[in-house]
Structures are given as C-alpha cells and as structure tokens.
Amino acid sequence: MTTIGFIGLGIMGAPMAANLVRAGFEVTGFDLDQTAVDALVAAGGKGAASAPEAAAGAEIVATMVPADPQVRAVVAELADVLRPGTLFVDFSTVCPQTSQWVAETLQDKGVRVLDAPVSGGQQGAVDAVLSIMVGGEPDDFAAALPVFEAVGRTVARVGPHGAGQVVKAANQLVVGGTYGLVAEAIVLMEAAGVDATAGLDVLAGGLAGSRILELKRRGMLARDFRPGFRIDLHHKDMGIVLDAARQAEVALPLAYQVATLVQAARSQGRGGDDHSALLAVAEGLSGR
Ligand code: NAD
C-alpha cells in the first residue's frame, strides 16, 4: 500500500486526504488544528503530531496549506526528513517562483517535486472531481497519477516546475472575473425589477452558463457567503496573477479590475467570506 503524508487538512485538504484513504492509500495527516487531524483519523487515516512525523517514511508527501509562507515553512521543516526518491506534491496555490524554489531546494536532496494546484472548490474536493494543473518532470507526473486520479477528474501536466501555478493563476482570473460579472448581472436584474432567480436559471442554460452559475447562483441569491473559498485567498491569488502578468510583460486590464473588486471586499471586512461575496461589493457600488 502506498504511504502518503498529507500536511494541511483544511477546507480542501480534509476531503482530499479522506478520498485518498477511500482509494486505498495509507494516509498520515498533520494540521496545526488538532480537530482536523482527528477528523482524518475518524475517516480511516492516521494522525501525526508534526509535519516531519507525517512525512517520515512516506513515499509521497502532499501539502495543501494556505499560501507561500506556509509552503516555505513546511518545506524548511521537511528538508532533512524526506528521503531521496520521495515524491513531494504541493497542491497549494502559490506563486510560480515559490514552486521553483521548492523544486530547487528539495531536488538537491534527491526528492522529486511537483506543483499541483487544483480547481473545483470544496464540493469538487468532496466529490473527487478536481481539475489539477501540474508542473514538473513527466516521469514524476506519471508516478503521481494514481494520487491525482483519486482526488481529481481532469488532470494535466502543463509544463516544468511552476507551470501549474501559472495555469492556476489563469484559472483564478477567470473565476474572479466570472463572479464579478454574475454579481453585476444580479444587481442589474434586481434593480430593474426582474425575477433574478428565473433570470439566472435561463442564463445558466445558455452561452453565459458556467460552473459558477451552476453551483453558486442559489447561494448568491440567498446572500449565503459562508466559505467555500475565502476572499482572503482570492486576494492572494490575484496578487499572483498581477505578478505573473508583470513577469510575462503582458497587459491585462481586466485582471486589475478583478483584483480591485476582491480588494474592496477585503477592505469592507469580507476577507473571511466566500468569494461569491463580490455580490456585496457590486451592490455597494450602486447603493443597494
Ligand atoms: P484552509 O485555510 O481551509 O486550509 C489550510 C489548512 O492548512 C488549515 O487547516 C491550516 O491549519 C493548515 N496549515 C497552515 N499552516 C500549516 C502548517 N505549517 N502545517 C500544517 N498545517 C498548516 O484553506 P483551503 O481553502 O483548504 O485552501 C488551501 C489551499 O488550496 C490554498 O492555497 C487555496 O488557495 C487553495 N484552493 C482552495 C480552494 C477552495 O475552494 N477553498 C480551491 C482551490 C484551491
């Protein structure tokens, strides 16, 4: 049985680790939050008291932590624990340079590294239907495929180390922009006295349809902004988008608009809300 050390058992990591257990992997998990570790044990995994304990002896080590500082901290903790040949898969969304740093740091020790950020949200993690965009060596991608197939449905190697993060940045641009536009559509329909529920239903069935309209329109209309995916994390991701655009020397005016909307949500105290709370920002702009 393949052994996996899984570090970071939050909104995404918890269901991913549970799905790996269900798929027959031996999973030892660690999170700073002990209740998350207890939940993995209840799901049939093992608990560890630290990241090095979770990683010790594992053939594959996976991380799903919030952002760059946490990935760098975990890698620094594990650098002397991971054995040569171990496959280190970072599912977190971070900037491409952090993924490249992880690869350089761990490859020196003979560890194989992939950046594998995901899309599909909490429900996609629960249902094991995530999209996974992978950067790294083809052989390492092939070795990790059974893990990816246990948590995801659409899986692609998109290039060398860091490439997965560039694709994830593109994903977050589209997701943020879509939320912003759906929010404006709701504001428009409601202000004009139109039935927005019926309106969004018909939009969802036409060319304007999207996974966001499919999965989130009811919650948005109910102003249910429980996360899901927190505005704070989307703010981090829009920073990655804008940095990547600068590095690539491309002009992305809409990316700046999306980043500003996300910033506004954060500035209005909605950092802990779901990113569908861009609706509250759009309403505020019109005094609604
Ligand atoms: P989360 O905050 O719910 O989970 C992160 C977990 O990591 C927390 O339980 C936290 O305690 C733990 N953690 C932090 N530092 C740690 C450390 N040093 N050692 C061990 N555990 C540590 O966040 P999330 O929503 O699960 O997101 C995780 C990553 O996935 C982020 O990079 C996010 O951008 C990305 N992502 C999230 C979603 C989503 O819908 N929530 C979707 C796709 C990608």
Structure tokens at 274: 């779901």
Which are the catalytic amino acids?
168
Q: Could you identify the atom of ligand 1 that is nearest to the CA of residue 30?
A: 20
d(CA 268, ligand 1 centre) in Å: 23
Long-range contacts (CB closer than 8 Å, 24 or more residues apart) made by 66-71: 66/8, 66/10, 66/92, 66/233, 66/236, 67/92, 67/93, 67/94, 67/233, 67/236, 68/94, 68/95, 68/98, 70/8, 71/98, 71/102
- What pTM, to 2 d.p., does this model score? 0.97
CB of 124 within 6 A of ligand 1: the answer is no
Q: Could you identify the atom of ligand 1 that is nearest to the CA of residue 33?
A: 11
CATH architecture of the domain formed by 166-285: Orthogonal Bundle (1.10)
CATH architecture of the domain formed by 3-160: 3-Layer(aba) Sandwich (3.40)
**Fold matches, 3-160 and 166-285:** no
Contact 119, 165 (CB under 8 A): no
Q: Is 28 exposed, middle or buried (0-12, 13-18, 19+ CB in 10 A)?
A: buried
Structure tokens at 42: 């209840």
pLDDT one digit per residue (tens) for the chain, 288 residues:
899 999 999 999 999 999 999 999 999 999 999 999 999 999 999 999 999 999 999 999 999 999 999 999 999 999 999 999 999 999 999 999 999 999 999 999 999 999 999 999 999 999 999 999 999 999 999 999 999 999 999 999 999 999 999 999 999 999 999 999 999 999 999 999 999 999 999 999 999 999 999 999 999 999 999 999 999 999 999 999 999 999 999 999 999 999 999 999 999 999 999 999 999 999 999 999
d(CA 225, ligand 1 centre) in Å: 18
Contact 83, 54 (CB under 8 A): no
Q: Whose CA is nearest to atom 1 of ligand 1?
A: 10
The residue ranges of every structural domain in the chain are 3-160, 166-285
